[in-house]
A and B are shown apart, each in its own frame.
Chain A
């Protein structure tokens, strides 16, 4: 059975995905638009040996990132030892002073990490960014696989593709590992959230309660789920799909109406696990990315297995000089932005834009990083009977139990525009399944 046989089911599979509600909501100019998240039938295929190497590198990276966050909200030895300048911590928007001295259950901060990678034309993988707050996307390849298996069961039977439908099992183990006693809850802001499909799907598959903010109350140093009859049940773990800012109006943004007042106070006392830990933004800042290989050396005493894209920090004089000299070959990123925003290519700027940007860069060098543009490998997409090459990245998911575990699949996102390198779903891209081969 050949993989090409799968293509003929493209429309049916997409129809089914739509019916299941695989959508992506986007807020633009004050209006909410729900659009389908287009699925392409051609999978990204990763060979066993290649994945084994990725797996090792990803585990190493997440272990170091977790150690880093723990250090930053604890003793701060990495600053004391001069490995990371303190302004990159305190001037960044991800650092939350409220988390100082708070050690989460089992010392886990990065329960679910979404690490974005690209493969260069030479076959080498590069880390593009770390997402340690609320990385979404695992549900998409999972449901796509479920449907594809139904359309061509023989294909999956005859090829040794590692089954990726166990993500929910991994997630459940991750949540149970830190649970302080009581129910496990997935906290959603509601159906207008971009990733609501994922929230409900993961709740269904893990057997967790899907809850909104006011169904959870803090009382007597514990968190409770209040059911429709008013009965209260103890909660031990909350996989929250709400950002830190809106999580708790009594500790963060006081305007939040979707959060749980005092959940952070209970968490501080160790009486509930919050997944992922508040304050993780301190480690996935684009400015901190530069330091991850140094972190790996510092905390683990190892060299990084997976490389960063070559990155320059204009904060350092030497790097600033390089950036100004090679401006046209670099991509510049605003460290405070996410989701593909705040990314500009030196080569695409007019003279005037460039002048403006350079003066901004000189004024606030810490705000930007510059990277070599990686010419990454194309993957074909199937459109109207034709195969078209497109840029694609891979979001790998690393879940933390006693040790980090890498999910043997991942979300492959592609840019629908042939000239674009930006693959973010919030910019209208599509997705593919990721097949890891068992032999």
Chain B
């Protein structure tokens, strides 16, 4: 068990004012067997009208609209989460599992994915073992390199390239699992340290979601805080916006997670 202090800080800077700005944020860690939210503070600027909701993937969302012109959009979420190691997340909506078993546009199979799929040995019987084989195959195939892929890069494109970031690792792993009809989902979240947000995958084994991190070739433990779930990255972006104005924009994202010093285990 750990207590983790986190901060998700995002700033969008526009060169010229924009208006009629709509946003949906999935930046609030959810509660489950693996993590408990102890404290949470949210700051969003400028003022907006909107509300809270839970989407079809179980994510807590803040959505809103800023009518007036503005040059900066700021989201700052801080809080403390208590995480558990080696705990599977129990699925409470098993009837929705089907959607996680089939390819999406971003995780559709292609020639490069088939190659990895055929190379990976699947001796394992359990979902856990199969997941580990697939994770290893993905990890072995990829070279971590930021800047060569985009948010819209598909699993097949990333696999053909052989390079990418955590989102690409996750998408490729999802595609391969789905080829075996293993229900699996994309997880956006944070990892102890400083930098960008992270992404990994969860596989469902008899109603329990087990977390694999193909970027690091390991199981996700209590150093991970999950934020949003979906069939792929497109289902559950941490922040998503739509505004009027034809102008350049710069996005700064800073995520920090550190273990609370005064915590006792």
**Interface residues of A, Cβ cutoff 8 Å to B:** 75-76, 79-80, 86-87, 89-91, 95, 97-102, 214, 217-221, 249-251, 254, 261-262, 265, 268-269
Contact = CB atoms under 8 A, between A and B. Distances in A.
A98 B55 contact: yes
A75 B102 CA distance: 18
Nearest to A95: B99
Most B C-beta atoms less than 10 A away, residue of A76, A89, A102, A261: A261
Given A218-B65, A250-B63, A254-B242, A97 B57 contact: yes
Nearest to A72: B98
A76 B98 contact: yes
Given A218-B65, A254-B242, A265-B63, A97 B53 contact: no
A100 B102 contact: no
Interface in B40-92: 49-51, 53, 55-57, 61, 63, 65
B53 A265 contact: yes
Contacts of A91: 102
B53 A90 contact: no
11 contacts: A76-B98, A89-B98, A90-B98, A90-B99, A100-B96, A100-B99, A219-B65, A254-B240, A265-B24, A265-B53, A268-B55
B22 A262 contact: yes
Interface residues of B, number: 25
Interface string B225-237: 0000001000100
A95 B104 CA distance: 11
Contacts of B231: 97
B56 A98 contact: yes
Contacts of B240: 250, 254
Nearest to B22: A261
Nearest to B53: A265
Contacts of A265: 24, 51, 53, 61, 63
B101 interface: yes
A89 B56 CA distance: 17
B119 interface: no
Contacts of A254: 240, 242
Interface string B3-45: 0000000000000000010111000000000000000000000
A87 B103 CA distance: 11
A220 B50 contact: yes
A147 B57 CA distance: 52
Interface in B202-260: 231, 235, 240, 242
A29 to B, nearest CB: 26
A119 to B, nearest CB: 38
Contacts of B20: 214
A76 B95 contact: yes
A261 B99 contact: no
Nearest to A97: B99
Given A90-B102, A249-B242, A254-B242, 9 more contacts: A75-B95, A95-B99, A100-B99, A101-B93, A217-B65, A220-B50, A249-B22, A250-B24, A261-B65
A328 B10 CA distance: 61
A171 to B, nearest CB: 29
A102 B99 contact: no
Nearest to A80: B95
B53 to A, nearest CB: 6
B47 to A, nearest CB: 13
A291 to B, nearest CB: 16
Nearest to B244: A214
A397 B144 CA distance: 56
A214 B20 CA distance: 10
A102 B235 CA distance: 16
